[in-house]
Amino acid sequence: LMTKSDKKKVEQTLSEDKEETHKNTTIEKESAPQKEETVEDKLKTTQEKLLRTMAEMENQRRRFEKENQEAFEFGGFNLARESLSLLDNIDRAVISFKNDEKLKNNKDLNKIIDGIEIVKQDLVSIFKKNGITPIKCMNEKFDPNFHQAMLELEDSTKDTGTVVQEIQKGYMMKDRLLRPSLVGVTKKRGENEESTEKNVKNTEEKEEKK
């Protein structure tokens, strides 16, 4: 009969043999030569790389064309925006001449104003040819994408937020905002007072409940 000591030695020997077998199997797998890539595999890999490269080149070409087109269409964007002040100054000059008491009786005043208006129309024509057009705002619903509210005017005959005054004309350059229209919009008569009264009344009711 085997003693406990003999059994332990046998089990230890079997365990060591098992570990050795596992190590040898692992080494054989690691040292086994990889499958050699065939000509067909290489050709397929090359074709995939070529297709990816061509797709990237096409995307770059499209981006380049788009950037060129935008540069062509909007290259003078900043210049156009700065040039709008010329129209503003022309309008101010005409108003100033018409309101000048010393010039009102001058027989040449109308000729001067007509000459200024001709220059203005030439400038407007140049703007129009380059896709610069004024924004329509009067009696339109206020739109923050195109209008900038400068003041509120009480008017119970129109819906709240209707543009009823154009302080400074806004312009678009094709589909881009060149300058927003500065406008005055309507509010209902006593709208702010009514809102204040409601808040005061609600506060009083809450105090009474306490």
Average pLDDT over residues 168-182: 93
Helix 109-129 to helix 77-99 angle (10° resolution) is 160
Confidence at residue 97, expressed as pLDDT on a 0 to 100 scale: 87
List all residues 6 or more positions away from 74 whose beta carbon is below 8 Å from its beta carbon: 173, 174, 176
- Is the per-residue pLDDT at 199 higher than 60? no
Q: Please tell me the distance from the alpha carbon of residue 64 to that of residue 111, in angstroms, as a whole number.
A: 51
198: which DSSP letter? H
pLDDT band at 203 (very low <50, low <70, confident <90, very high): very low
The C-alpha atoms of residue 34 and residue 28 are separated, in whole angstroms, by 12
Mind listing the pLDDT tens digit for each residue in 53-68? 888 888 877 877 776 6
Residue 34 pLDDT level (bands cut at 50, 70, 90):
low
The whole-angstrom distance between residue 92's C-alpha and the CA centroid of its chain comes to: 33
* DSSP-based helix, strand, coil % in the chain, nearest 5: 60, 15, 20
CB-CB contact of 184 with 155 (8 Å): no
Say how far apart CA 15 and CA 2 lie, in whole Å.
Answer: 18
